[in-house]
Amino acid sequence: MPTICFGFQCHVSSVPVFNSMKKPEIRPWWAVVTVSMIICLFVYTGTGVCGFLSFGSSVSQDVLMSYPSDDIAVAIARAFIIICVVTSYPILHFCGRAVLEGLWLRFKGEEVETDVARERRRRILQTVVWFCLTLILALFIPDIGRVISLIGGLAACFIFVFPGLCLIQAKLSEHDVRSTSWKGMVAYGVVMVTIGAFIFGQTTTNAIYQDIISQPSSP
């Protein structure tokens, strides 16, 4: 479950992707989201099935680690992963930096237009710090499976909890007659929040527990 949540969370980059569209409208946006999810579904499923058929239950959490490093096909797959990381990292970093920048400006009570000069310095500093932290984590955490197990629980919040809360807030802010469909949407939001909270608690607790019991005991 944490791996599935981690693989299918794309809510963070949805806003910049939507704004970069030639026609940022809801109808083509639904088409983009649907096609993207279908592609992810087939790629992830195909990768998992091939890994299981090749190595059975002994397959590594990072499927490519189970294959020989001198295999040309594996080298090509790793090259594509590098391209994916290089192209997606700036988008995700932009989202994180935008959140930090918004919180900072709100804390200072300033507008973006009045803080352009200092914004450039903060942007460079945040980018350098963010990249260095990412590099350190990548160097000192050899097993990506543990990271996915832990972050996968947090991804459940982005997939279920936050959208559910937004849906509830949007419906509660409406002043129209509260019809059956209105109640159904609110109930749907409550269900999403409940499921997300359960997945987050269960997967995060299990990941921490598995990490603790997997540590070698001291003599």
Collapse the DSSP code of 109 into the 3-class scheme (helix H, G, I; strand E, B; otherwise coil) and give the result: coil
Q: What is the pTM of this model?
A: 0.60
Span 76-115, pLDDT tens digits: 888 888 888 788 888 888 888 888 888 887 887 777 666 6
What letter would DSSP give residue 10? -
What local confidence, expressed as pLDDT, does residue 2 receive? 66
Kindly list the domain boundaries of the chain, sorted by start residue. Answer: 65-142
172, pLDDT greater than 70:
yes
- d(CA 138, CA 85) in angstroms, rounded, equals 13
Paired tokens of 85 = 């990381």
Specify the pLDDT at position 211.
67
Range 125-134, long-range pairs (CB < 8 A, 24+ positions):
126/97, 126/100, 126/101, 127/93, 127/97, 130/93, 130/96, 130/97, 131/93, 134/89
Residues 6+ apart with CB under 8 A from 20: none
